[in-house]
Structure 1
Protein backbone atom coordinates (compact mmCIF):
# COMPACT_ATOMS: atom_id res chain seq x y z
CA UNK A 1 0.00 0.00 0.00
CA UNK A 2 1.44 3.38 -1.02
CA UNK A 3 0.50 6.92 -0.05
CA UNK A 4 1.11 9.71 -2.55
CA UNK A 5 0.10 13.35 -2.68
CA UNK A 6 0.14 16.32 -5.02
CA UNK A 7 0.17 19.80 -3.48
CA UNK A 8 -0.63 22.75 -5.77
CA UNK A 9 -0.22 26.39 -4.76
CA UNK A 10 -0.65 29.37 -7.09
CA UNK A 11 -0.12 32.98 -6.01
CA UNK A 12 0.95 34.31 -9.40
CA UNK A 13 -1.74 34.76 -12.06
CA UNK A 14 -0.11 36.57 -15.01
CA UNK A 15 -2.36 38.83 -17.02
CA UNK A 16 -5.20 38.90 -14.48
CA UNK A 17 -4.09 41.51 -11.89
CA UNK A 18 -5.54 39.12 -9.30
CA UNK A 19 -2.49 37.63 -7.59
CA UNK A 20 -2.85 35.97 -4.19
CA UNK A 21 -0.49 35.76 -1.21
CA UNK A 22 -1.03 32.60 0.83
CA UNK A 23 -1.38 29.79 -1.70
CA UNK A 24 2.29 28.82 -1.99
CA UNK A 25 2.55 28.72 1.80
CA UNK A 26 -0.57 26.55 1.82
CA UNK A 27 0.97 24.06 -0.61
CA UNK A 28 4.23 23.91 1.32
CA UNK A 29 2.37 23.48 4.61
CA UNK A 30 0.19 20.68 3.24
CA UNK A 31 3.28 19.01 1.79
CA UNK A 32 5.05 19.10 5.15
CA UNK A 33 2.03 17.70 6.99
CA UNK A 34 1.54 14.91 4.45
CA UNK A 35 5.23 14.01 4.35
CA UNK A 36 5.18 13.67 8.14
CA UNK A 37 2.33 11.16 7.71
CA UNK A 38 4.20 8.97 5.27
CA UNK A 39 3.14 10.41 1.93
CA UNK A 40 5.46 10.80 -1.03
CA UNK A 41 4.68 14.38 -2.07
CA UNK A 42 4.99 16.21 -5.37
CA UNK A 43 4.44 19.98 -5.56
CA UNK A 44 3.41 22.31 -8.37
CA UNK A 45 4.10 25.93 -7.45
CA UNK A 46 3.12 29.03 -9.48
CA UNK A 47 4.47 28.72 -13.04
CA UNK A 48 4.89 24.97 -12.61
CA UNK A 49 1.12 24.65 -12.19
CA UNK A 50 -0.04 25.09 -15.78
CA UNK A 51 -3.22 23.29 -16.76
CA UNK A 52 -1.23 20.74 -18.74
CA UNK A 53 1.06 20.09 -15.79
CA UNK A 54 -1.85 19.77 -13.37
CA UNK A 55 -3.66 17.33 -15.66
CA UNK A 56 -0.48 15.30 -16.18
CA UNK A 57 0.33 15.15 -12.47
CA UNK A 58 -3.21 14.21 -11.41
CA UNK A 59 -3.49 11.64 -14.18
CA UNK A 60 -0.18 10.04 -13.26
CA UNK A 61 -0.96 10.00 -9.55
CA UNK A 62 -4.45 8.55 -9.84
CA UNK A 63 -3.80 6.28 -12.79
CA UNK A 64 -0.65 4.85 -11.22
CA UNK A 65 -2.29 3.92 -7.92
CA UNK A 66 -3.28 0.35 -7.05
CA UNK A 67 -5.89 -1.16 -4.76
CA UNK A 68 -5.27 -0.08 -1.17
CA UNK A 69 -3.30 3.03 -2.14
CA UNK A 70 -4.22 6.50 -0.89
CA UNK A 71 -4.03 9.60 -3.08
CA UNK A 72 -4.38 13.15 -1.71
CA UNK A 73 -4.53 16.25 -3.90
CA UNK A 74 -4.46 19.71 -2.33
CA UNK A 75 -5.18 22.86 -4.29
CA UNK A 76 -4.79 26.46 -3.15
CA UNK A 77 -5.54 29.17 -5.66
CA UNK A 78 -8.39 30.88 -7.42
CA UNK A 79 -11.63 29.14 -8.29
CA UNK A 80 -13.93 30.15 -11.14
CA UNK A 81 -16.85 28.91 -13.25
CA UNK A 82 -18.12 28.63 -16.81
CA UNK A 83 -21.66 28.03 -18.15
CA UNK A 84 -22.58 24.34 -17.96
CA UNK A 85 -22.60 22.75 -21.42
CA UNK A 86 -23.96 19.26 -20.70
CA UNK A 87 -26.80 19.91 -18.28
CA UNK A 88 -25.31 18.10 -15.28
CA UNK A 89 -25.15 21.16 -13.02
CA UNK A 90 -28.35 22.29 -11.23
CA UNK A 91 -27.04 25.87 -11.01
CA UNK A 92 -26.14 26.04 -14.71
CA UNK A 93 -22.42 26.32 -13.99
CA UNK A 94 -19.34 24.13 -14.16
CA UNK A 95 -16.96 25.10 -11.40
CA UNK A 96 -13.24 24.96 -11.99
CA UNK A 97 -9.75 25.48 -10.64
CA UNK A 98 -7.58 28.25 -12.06
CA UNK A 99 -4.15 27.05 -13.23
CA UNK A 100 -1.24 29.47 -13.55
CA UNK A 101 -2.13 30.01 -17.22
CA UNK A 102 -5.79 30.87 -16.62
CA UNK A 103 -5.03 34.21 -18.30
CA UNK A 104 -4.83 32.24 -21.55
CA UNK A 105 -8.20 30.65 -20.91
CA UNK A 106 -6.80 27.46 -19.40
CA UNK A 107 -9.36 26.42 -16.77
CA UNK A 108 -9.52 22.96 -15.15
CA UNK A 109 -13.22 22.15 -14.81
CA UNK A 110 -14.92 19.81 -12.36
CA UNK A 111 -16.02 17.60 -15.27
CA UNK A 112 -12.40 17.24 -16.35
CA UNK A 113 -11.29 16.35 -12.83
CA UNK A 114 -14.07 13.75 -12.63
CA UNK A 115 -12.79 12.21 -15.87
CA UNK A 116 -9.26 12.03 -14.44
CA UNK A 117 -10.49 10.43 -11.21
CA UNK A 118 -12.56 7.91 -13.19
CA UNK A 119 -9.36 6.18 -14.34
CA UNK A 120 -8.42 5.00 -10.85
CA UNK A 121 -8.33 1.32 -10.02
CA UNK A 122 -10.88 -0.21 -7.68
CA UNK A 123 -9.94 0.23 -4.04
CA UNK A 124 -7.89 3.41 -4.52
CA UNK A 125 -8.82 6.13 -2.03
CA UNK A 126 -8.87 9.67 -3.43
CA UNK A 127 -9.16 12.84 -1.34
CA UNK A 128 -9.30 16.34 -2.86
CA UNK A 129 -8.69 19.31 -0.54
CA UNK A 130 -9.56 22.58 -2.26
CA UNK A 131 -8.90 25.96 -0.63
CA UNK A 132 -10.51 28.01 -3.38
CA UNK A 133 -13.89 29.58 -3.94
CA UNK A 134 -16.74 27.18 -4.59
CA UNK A 135 -19.20 29.15 -3.09
CA UNK A 136 -23.91 30.60 4.27
CA UNK A 137 -24.28 31.98 7.45
CA UNK A 138 -21.87 33.79 9.73
CA UNK A 139 -21.16 32.82 13.32
CA UNK A 140 -18.54 33.99 15.78
CA UNK A 141 -15.62 31.58 15.73
CA UNK A 142 -12.16 31.78 17.29
CA UNK A 143 -10.10 34.23 15.20
CA UNK A 144 -7.32 35.08 17.66
CA UNK A 145 -4.63 34.09 15.15
CA UNK A 146 -6.00 36.29 12.38
CA UNK A 147 -4.16 39.51 11.53
CA UNK A 148 -6.15 42.70 11.15
CA UNK A 149 -6.94 43.78 7.61
CA UNK A 150 -9.28 42.79 4.81
CA UNK A 151 -8.79 39.25 3.42
CA UNK A 152 -8.95 38.65 -0.33
CA UNK A 153 -11.39 36.27 -1.99
CA UNK A 154 -9.95 33.32 -3.88
CA UNK A 155 -12.38 33.75 -6.75
CA UNK A 156 -11.64 34.75 -10.32
CA UNK A 157 -14.80 35.86 -12.17
CA UNK A 158 -15.11 34.83 -15.81
CA UNK A 159 -14.77 38.46 -16.93
CA UNK A 160 -11.14 38.45 -15.77
CA UNK A 161 -9.93 35.57 -17.93
CA UNK A 162 -12.54 34.92 -20.66
CA UNK A 163 -12.69 36.81 -23.93
CA UNK A 164 -15.51 39.35 -24.18
CA UNK A 165 -17.33 37.40 -26.89
CA UNK A 166 -17.20 34.22 -24.76
CA UNK A 167 -18.66 35.70 -21.59
CA UNK A 168 -21.93 34.14 -20.42
CA UNK A 169 -25.23 35.95 -20.65
CA UNK A 170 -26.30 37.95 -17.62
CA UNK A 171 -29.01 35.39 -16.81
CA UNK A 172 -26.34 32.79 -16.12
CA UNK A 173 -23.91 35.12 -14.40
CA UNK A 174 -26.53 36.13 -11.84
CA UNK A 175 -26.86 32.58 -10.51
CA UNK A 176 -25.28 31.77 -7.13
CA UNK A 177 -21.96 29.97 -6.99
CA UNK A 178 -22.55 26.32 -6.09
CA UNK A 179 -19.93 23.92 -4.80
CA UNK A 180 -19.83 21.95 -8.01
CA UNK A 181 -16.43 20.49 -7.16
CA UNK A 182 -18.38 18.02 -5.02
CA UNK A 183 -19.12 16.29 -8.33
CA UNK A 184 -15.43 15.73 -9.09
CA UNK A 185 -15.63 12.00 -8.44
CA UNK A 186 -13.19 11.40 -5.56
CA UNK A 187 -14.14 9.60 -2.37
CA UNK A 188 -13.87 12.76 -0.29
CA UNK A 189 -13.77 16.49 -0.92
CA UNK A 190 -12.82 18.97 1.78
CA UNK A 191 -13.71 22.44 0.54
CA UNK A 192 -13.14 25.87 2.00
CA UNK A 193 -16.70 27.19 1.72
CA UNK A 194 -20.26 26.62 0.51
CA UNK A 195 -22.99 28.30 -1.55
CA UNK A 196 -22.75 32.09 -2.00
CA UNK A 197 -19.39 32.26 -0.20
CA UNK A 198 -15.72 32.85 -0.92
CA UNK A 199 -12.61 31.19 0.48
CA UNK A 200 -10.39 33.89 1.91
CA UNK A 201 -6.70 34.56 1.35
CA UNK A 202 -5.39 36.33 4.47
CA UNK A 203 -2.61 36.50 7.08
CA UNK A 204 -2.10 34.76 10.40
CA UNK A 205 0.55 36.00 12.81
CA UNK A 206 2.16 37.96 9.98
CA UNK A 207 2.26 35.04 7.49
CA UNK A 208 -0.04 34.66 4.44
CA UNK A 209 -2.26 31.58 4.30
CA UNK A 210 -5.67 30.51 3.19
CA UNK A 211 -8.09 30.62 6.13
CA UNK A 212 -9.33 27.09 5.55
CA UNK A 213 -5.84 25.64 5.15
CA UNK A 214 -4.57 27.40 8.27
CA UNK A 215 -7.34 26.08 10.49
CA UNK A 216 -7.41 22.65 8.87
CA UNK A 217 -3.72 22.17 9.64
CA UNK A 218 -4.02 23.69 13.11
CA UNK A 219 -6.74 21.20 14.04
CA UNK A 220 -4.98 18.33 12.26
CA UNK A 221 -1.99 18.78 14.56
CA UNK A 222 -4.24 18.41 17.62
CA UNK A 223 -6.28 15.39 16.46
CA UNK A 224 -6.06 12.21 18.54
CA UNK A 225 -4.52 9.13 16.94
CA UNK A 226 -6.99 7.31 14.76
CA UNK A 227 -9.30 10.30 14.27
CA UNK A 228 -11.66 10.19 11.29
CA UNK A 229 -12.24 12.77 8.59
CA UNK A 230 -15.63 13.51 10.17
CA UNK A 231 -13.92 14.23 13.50
CA UNK A 232 -11.33 16.43 11.80
CA UNK A 233 -14.02 18.40 10.04
CA UNK A 234 -15.95 18.85 13.29
CA UNK A 235 -12.81 20.30 14.88
CA UNK A 236 -12.58 22.96 12.14
CA UNK A 237 -16.18 24.13 12.14
CA UNK A 238 -17.75 25.83 13.98
CA UNK A 239 -14.83 26.33 16.37
CA UNK A 240 -12.68 28.26 13.87
CA UNK A 241 -14.80 28.88 10.76
CA UNK A 242 -16.91 30.74 9.95
CA UNK A 243 -16.17 34.00 11.79
CA UNK A 244 -17.40 37.55 11.42
CA UNK A 245 -14.19 38.41 9.53
CA UNK A 246 -14.04 35.14 7.58
CA UNK A 247 -17.61 34.29 6.53
CA UNK A 248 -16.94 30.87 5.02
CA UNK A 249 -18.42 27.51 5.98
CA UNK A 250 -16.05 24.63 5.11
CA UNK A 251 -17.63 21.55 3.57
CA UNK A 252 -16.95 17.82 3.70
CA UNK A 253 -18.44 15.76 0.86
CA UNK A 254 -18.35 11.97 0.76
CA UNK A 255 -20.11 8.82 1.87
CA UNK A 256 -20.61 7.95 5.53
CA UNK A 257 -18.06 5.19 5.08
CA UNK A 258 -15.44 7.53 3.63
CA UNK A 259 -16.02 10.14 6.34
CA UNK A 260 -15.24 7.46 8.92
CA UNK A 261 -11.85 6.65 7.40
CA UNK A 262 -8.80 7.40 9.51
CA UNK A 263 -7.25 10.71 8.43
CA UNK A 264 -4.43 10.28 5.88
CA UNK A 265 -4.26 6.51 6.49
Structure 2
Protein backbone atom coordinates (compact mmCIF):
# COMPACT_ATOMS: atom_id res chain seq x y z
CA UNK A 1 0.00 0.00 0.00
CA UNK A 2 1.33 3.42 -0.98
CA UNK A 3 0.52 6.39 1.25
CA UNK A 4 0.42 9.88 -0.18
CA UNK A 5 -0.57 13.18 1.41
CA UNK A 6 -1.18 16.76 0.34
CA UNK A 7 -1.04 19.36 3.13
CA UNK A 8 -2.32 22.86 2.35
CA UNK A 9 -1.99 25.89 4.63
CA UNK A 10 -2.84 29.48 3.73
CA UNK A 11 -2.42 32.47 6.06
CA UNK A 12 -2.12 35.22 3.47
CA UNK A 13 -5.17 36.28 1.46
CA UNK A 14 -4.11 39.32 -0.59
CA UNK A 15 -6.70 42.04 -1.03
CA UNK A 16 -9.21 40.68 1.51
CA UNK A 17 -7.97 42.05 4.87
CA UNK A 18 -8.80 38.59 6.22
CA UNK A 19 -5.33 37.11 6.81
CA UNK A 20 -4.88 34.27 9.29
CA UNK A 21 -1.88 33.22 11.40
CA UNK A 22 -1.93 29.50 12.17
CA UNK A 23 -2.65 27.75 8.88
CA UNK A 24 0.92 27.32 7.63
CA UNK A 25 1.87 25.89 11.02
CA UNK A 26 -1.09 23.52 10.70
CA UNK A 27 0.03 22.27 7.30
CA UNK A 28 3.58 21.75 8.48
CA UNK A 29 2.39 19.96 11.62
CA UNK A 30 0.18 17.58 9.61
CA UNK A 31 2.97 17.03 7.08
CA UNK A 32 5.50 16.20 9.81
CA UNK A 33 3.11 13.75 11.48
CA UNK A 34 2.18 12.04 8.22
CA UNK A 35 5.78 11.93 7.03
CA UNK A 36 6.76 10.20 10.27
CA UNK A 37 4.08 7.62 9.51
CA UNK A 38 5.51 6.76 6.11
CA UNK A 39 3.51 9.06 3.82
CA UNK A 40 4.95 10.74 0.76
CA UNK A 41 4.01 14.34 1.53
CA UNK A 42 3.62 17.41 -0.66
CA UNK A 43 2.99 20.83 0.88
CA UNK A 44 1.32 23.90 -0.60
CA UNK A 45 1.90 26.94 1.62
CA UNK A 46 0.61 30.49 1.16
CA UNK A 47 1.57 31.79 -2.34
CA UNK A 48 2.18 28.20 -3.52
CA UNK A 49 -1.48 27.37 -2.84
CA UNK A 50 -3.14 29.07 -5.79
CA UNK A 51 -6.39 27.61 -7.06
CA UNK A 52 -4.59 26.10 -10.04
CA UNK A 53 -1.93 24.57 -7.80
CA UNK A 54 -4.53 23.16 -5.41
CA UNK A 55 -6.42 21.58 -8.30
CA UNK A 56 -3.22 20.18 -9.77
CA UNK A 57 -2.04 18.89 -6.41
CA UNK A 58 -5.31 17.10 -5.72
CA UNK A 59 -5.38 15.59 -9.20
CA UNK A 60 -1.80 14.40 -8.82
CA UNK A 61 -2.17 12.76 -5.42
CA UNK A 62 -5.51 11.18 -6.33
CA UNK A 63 -4.48 10.15 -9.84
CA UNK A 64 -1.32 8.39 -8.65
CA UNK A 65 -3.20 6.20 -6.17
CA UNK A 66 -4.19 2.62 -7.00
CA UNK A 67 -6.52 0.18 -5.28
CA UNK A 68 -5.51 -0.31 -1.65
CA UNK A 69 -3.57 2.98 -1.48
CA UNK A 70 -4.36 5.71 1.03
CA UNK A 71 -4.56 9.43 0.28
CA UNK A 72 -4.73 12.08 3.00
CA UNK A 73 -5.52 15.71 2.15
CA UNK A 74 -5.44 18.39 4.83
CA UNK A 75 -6.61 21.96 4.36
CA UNK A 76 -6.15 24.84 6.78
CA UNK A 77 -7.40 28.22 5.66
CA UNK A 78 -10.61 30.11 5.05
CA UNK A 79 -13.81 28.50 3.88
CA UNK A 80 -16.45 30.49 2.04
CA UNK A 81 -19.52 30.19 -0.16
CA UNK A 82 -20.67 31.68 -3.44
CA UNK A 83 -24.02 32.02 -5.22
CA UNK A 84 -24.88 28.66 -6.78
CA UNK A 85 -24.75 28.85 -10.57
CA UNK A 86 -25.81 25.27 -11.34
CA UNK A 87 -29.00 25.12 -9.28
CA UNK A 88 -27.96 22.00 -7.32
CA UNK A 89 -27.87 23.66 -3.88
CA UNK A 90 -31.03 23.94 -1.81
CA UNK A 91 -29.78 27.04 -0.01
CA UNK A 92 -28.66 28.70 -3.27
CA UNK A 93 -25.00 28.71 -2.23
CA UNK A 94 -21.98 26.60 -3.17
CA UNK A 95 -19.42 25.90 -0.47
CA UNK A 96 -15.75 26.43 -1.26
CA UNK A 97 -12.19 26.48 -0.01
CA UNK A 98 -10.28 29.74 -0.31
CA UNK A 99 -6.98 29.55 -2.23
CA UNK A 100 -4.23 32.15 -1.96
CA UNK A 101 -5.41 33.89 -5.14
CA UNK A 102 -9.06 33.98 -4.09
CA UNK A 103 -9.60 37.56 -5.28
CA UNK A 104 -8.40 36.81 -8.81
CA UNK A 105 -8.89 33.06 -9.23
CA UNK A 106 -12.02 32.48 -7.19
CA UNK A 107 -12.88 29.79 -4.65
CA UNK A 108 -12.27 26.07 -5.09
CA UNK A 109 -15.87 24.88 -5.07
CA UNK A 110 -17.36 21.65 -3.75
CA UNK A 111 -18.45 20.73 -7.29
CA UNK A 112 -14.85 20.96 -8.52
CA UNK A 113 -13.51 18.92 -5.60
CA UNK A 114 -16.17 16.27 -6.13
CA UNK A 115 -15.25 15.92 -9.80
CA UNK A 116 -11.57 15.33 -8.96
CA UNK A 117 -12.30 12.67 -6.37
CA UNK A 118 -14.96 10.98 -8.48
CA UNK A 119 -12.30 10.22 -11.09
CA UNK A 120 -10.13 8.15 -8.72
CA UNK A 121 -9.49 4.47 -9.19
CA UNK A 122 -11.61 1.97 -7.30
CA UNK A 123 -10.36 0.90 -3.89
CA UNK A 124 -8.49 4.12 -3.08
CA UNK A 125 -9.15 5.24 0.49
CA UNK A 126 -9.43 8.95 1.28
CA UNK A 127 -8.98 10.71 4.59
CA UNK A 128 -9.84 14.42 4.40
CA UNK A 129 -9.00 16.80 7.24
CA UNK A 130 -10.49 20.28 7.09
CA UNK A 131 -9.52 22.93 9.64
CA UNK A 132 -11.67 25.66 8.13
CA UNK A 133 -15.22 26.97 8.29
CA UNK A 134 -17.78 26.03 5.66
CA UNK A 135 -20.67 28.24 6.79
CA UNK A 136 -21.14 31.43 8.74
CA UNK A 137 -22.30 35.03 8.67
CA UNK A 138 -20.57 38.25 7.75
CA UNK A 139 -21.13 39.78 11.17
CA UNK A 140 -19.82 36.84 13.20
CA UNK A 141 -16.77 36.38 10.99
CA UNK A 142 -15.77 40.03 10.69
CA UNK A 143 -12.11 40.63 11.66
CA UNK A 144 -11.36 42.54 14.84
CA UNK A 145 -9.13 45.54 15.26
CA UNK A 146 -5.40 45.61 15.93
CA UNK A 147 -5.98 45.52 19.67
CA UNK A 148 -7.46 42.02 19.59
CA UNK A 149 -5.19 40.42 17.01
CA UNK A 150 -4.37 37.60 19.43
CA UNK A 151 -8.01 36.62 19.95
CA UNK A 152 -9.37 33.53 18.16
CA UNK A 153 -10.54 34.37 14.65
CA UNK A 154 -13.03 32.31 12.66
CA UNK A 155 -11.62 30.74 9.51
CA UNK A 156 -14.50 31.95 7.40
CA UNK A 157 -14.27 34.33 4.44
CA UNK A 158 -17.44 36.42 3.95
CA UNK A 159 -18.51 36.82 0.33
CA UNK A 160 -18.33 40.60 0.62
CA UNK A 161 -14.60 40.38 1.40
CA UNK A 162 -13.70 38.97 -2.01
CA UNK A 163 -16.62 38.96 -4.47
CA UNK A 164 -17.44 42.07 -6.50
CA UNK A 165 -20.71 43.75 -5.44
CA UNK A 166 -22.56 42.67 -8.59
CA UNK A 167 -22.01 38.98 -7.72
CA UNK A 168 -23.30 39.20 -4.15
CA UNK A 169 -26.76 37.85 -3.36
CA UNK A 170 -29.34 40.63 -3.21
CA UNK A 171 -29.67 40.31 0.57
CA UNK A 172 -25.92 40.84 0.97
CA UNK A 173 -25.92 44.31 -0.59
CA UNK A 174 -25.24 46.47 2.44
CA UNK A 175 -26.49 43.76 4.81
CA UNK A 176 -25.02 40.61 6.38
CA UNK A 177 -25.19 37.72 3.96
CA UNK A 178 -27.45 34.80 4.70
CA UNK A 179 -25.58 31.83 6.15
CA UNK A 180 -25.07 28.65 4.21
CA UNK A 181 -26.72 25.50 5.51
CA UNK A 182 -24.56 23.23 3.39
CA UNK A 183 -21.74 20.80 4.02
CA UNK A 184 -17.99 21.07 4.09
CA UNK A 185 -16.59 21.42 0.55
CA UNK A 186 -14.96 18.02 1.15
CA UNK A 187 -18.19 16.26 2.15
CA UNK A 188 -19.31 15.38 -1.39
CA UNK A 189 -15.96 13.71 -2.02
CA UNK A 190 -16.46 11.16 0.75
CA UNK A 191 -17.75 7.77 -0.38
CA UNK A 192 -19.53 6.68 2.77
CA UNK A 193 -19.59 3.10 1.58
CA UNK A 194 -15.98 3.00 0.44
CA UNK A 195 -14.02 3.48 3.63
CA UNK A 196 -13.51 7.24 3.22
CA UNK A 197 -13.47 9.65 6.11
CA UNK A 198 -13.80 13.39 6.71
CA UNK A 199 -12.59 15.03 9.89
CA UNK A 200 -13.61 18.67 10.19
CA UNK A 201 -13.01 21.27 12.84
CA UNK A 202 -16.63 22.32 13.34
CA UNK A 203 -20.27 21.46 12.77
CA UNK A 204 -22.16 22.33 9.62
CA UNK A 205 -24.69 25.15 9.49
CA UNK A 206 -24.81 28.81 10.50
CA UNK A 207 -22.59 30.23 13.24
CA UNK A 208 -20.27 27.23 13.46
CA UNK A 209 -16.62 28.09 13.05
CA UNK A 210 -13.14 26.59 13.14
CA UNK A 211 -10.90 29.02 14.98
CA UNK A 212 -7.48 30.39 14.21
CA UNK A 213 -5.89 30.30 17.65
CA UNK A 214 -2.72 31.18 19.54
CA UNK A 215 -1.82 28.43 21.98
CA UNK A 216 1.12 29.04 24.31
CA UNK A 217 2.21 31.84 22.00
CA UNK A 218 2.18 29.75 18.81
CA UNK A 219 -0.42 30.31 16.05
CA UNK A 220 -2.36 27.14 15.21
CA UNK A 221 -5.79 25.95 14.28
CA UNK A 222 -7.51 24.95 17.50
CA UNK A 223 -8.72 21.72 15.91
CA UNK A 224 -5.33 20.85 14.44
CA UNK A 225 -3.56 21.50 17.75
CA UNK A 226 -5.88 19.35 19.83
CA UNK A 227 -6.27 16.63 17.19
CA UNK A 228 -2.51 16.11 16.92
CA UNK A 229 -2.11 16.35 20.69
CA UNK A 230 -4.76 13.66 21.18
CA UNK A 231 -3.24 11.46 18.46
CA UNK A 232 0.06 11.25 20.35
CA UNK A 233 -1.74 9.76 23.36
CA UNK A 234 -3.48 6.95 21.45
CA UNK A 235 -2.20 3.39 21.02
CA UNK A 236 -1.16 2.26 17.52
CA UNK A 237 -4.38 0.26 17.15
CA UNK A 238 -6.66 3.25 17.87
CA UNK A 239 -9.47 3.86 15.40
CA UNK A 240 -10.70 7.12 13.91
CA UNK A 241 -13.67 6.91 16.27
CA UNK A 242 -11.25 6.65 19.20
CA UNK A 243 -9.34 9.65 17.90
CA UNK A 244 -12.48 11.73 17.49
CA UNK A 245 -13.61 10.81 21.01
CA UNK A 246 -10.24 11.90 22.38
CA UNK A 247 -10.69 15.36 20.82
CA UNK A 248 -14.34 16.03 21.58
CA UNK A 249 -15.66 16.61 24.14
CA UNK A 250 -12.34 16.12 25.97
CA UNK A 251 -10.70 19.23 24.46
CA UNK A 252 -13.25 20.88 22.15
CA UNK A 253 -15.55 22.70 22.44
CA UNK A 254 -14.05 24.90 25.14
CA UNK A 255 -14.70 28.35 26.52
CA UNK A 256 -11.96 29.78 24.29
CA UNK A 257 -12.80 27.73 21.19
CA UNK A 258 -16.55 26.95 20.99
CA UNK A 259 -16.35 24.48 18.12
CA UNK A 260 -17.37 20.83 17.87
CA UNK A 261 -15.20 18.73 15.52
CA UNK A 262 -17.09 16.30 13.32
CA UNK A 263 -16.36 12.89 11.81
CA UNK A 264 -18.14 11.83 8.60
CA UNK A 265 -17.95 8.32 7.19
CA UNK A 266 -19.40 4.85 7.48
CA UNK A 267 -19.29 2.84 10.70
CA UNK A 268 -16.66 0.60 9.11
CA UNK A 269 -14.49 3.58 8.15
CA UNK A 270 -14.65 4.97 11.68
CA UNK A 271 -13.38 1.65 13.03
CA UNK A 272 -10.30 1.59 10.78
CA UNK A 273 -6.91 2.22 12.46
CA UNK A 274 -5.83 5.84 12.17
CA UNK A 275 -3.81 6.27 8.95
CA UNK A 276 -3.59 2.47 8.79
Common fold, TM-score beyond 0.5?
yes
* Displacement after TM superposition at 1:222 (Å): 0.8
Alignment of 1:1-265 (within 5 A): 1-135=1-135, 149-170=150-171, 173-181=177-185, 183-186=187-190, 187-194=196-203, 195-196=205-206, 197-265=208-276
Q: Which moved more, 1:168-177 or 1:104-113?
A: 168-177
Q: What's the CA shift string for 1:103-123, capped at 9, x where partnerless?
A: 214210111101000111110
CA RMSD between the two structures = 1.8
Conserved in 1, the CA contact under 8 Å of 2:13 and 2:102? yes
Conserved in 1, the CA contact under 8 Å of 2:128 and 2:186? no
When residues 231 and 75 of structure 1 are mapped into structure 2, their CA distance, relative to the original with a 3 A threshold, is: same
In 2, distance between residues paired with 1:77 and 1:149?
17
* Displacement after TM superposition at 1:87 (Å): 3.6
In 2, distance between residues paired with 1:91 and 1:244?
31
Conserved in 2, the CA contact under 8 Å of 1:30 and 1:74? yes
TM-score normalized by the length of structure 1: 0.91
Conserved in 2, the CA contact under 8 Å of 1:126 and 1:188? yes
Conserved in 2, the CA contact under 8 Å of 1:202 and 1:210? yes
Match of 2:193 in 1: none
Q: Secondary structure at the match of 1:243?
A: coil
* Displacement after TM superposition at 1:165 (Å): 0.6
Q: What's the CA shift string for 1:145-195, capped at 9, x where partnerless?
A: xxx952011110111111111111218932444334353313211111112
In 1, distance between residues paired with 2:213 and 2:187?
27
Match of 2:139 in 1: none
Gaps of 5+ in 2: 136-148, 191-195
Q: Secondary structure at the match of 1:173?
A: coil
In 2, distance between residues paired with 1:18 and 1:123?
39
* Displacement after TM superposition at 1:84 (Å): 2.4
In 2, distance between residues paired with 1:264 and 1:224?
13
Gaps of 5+ in 1: 136-147
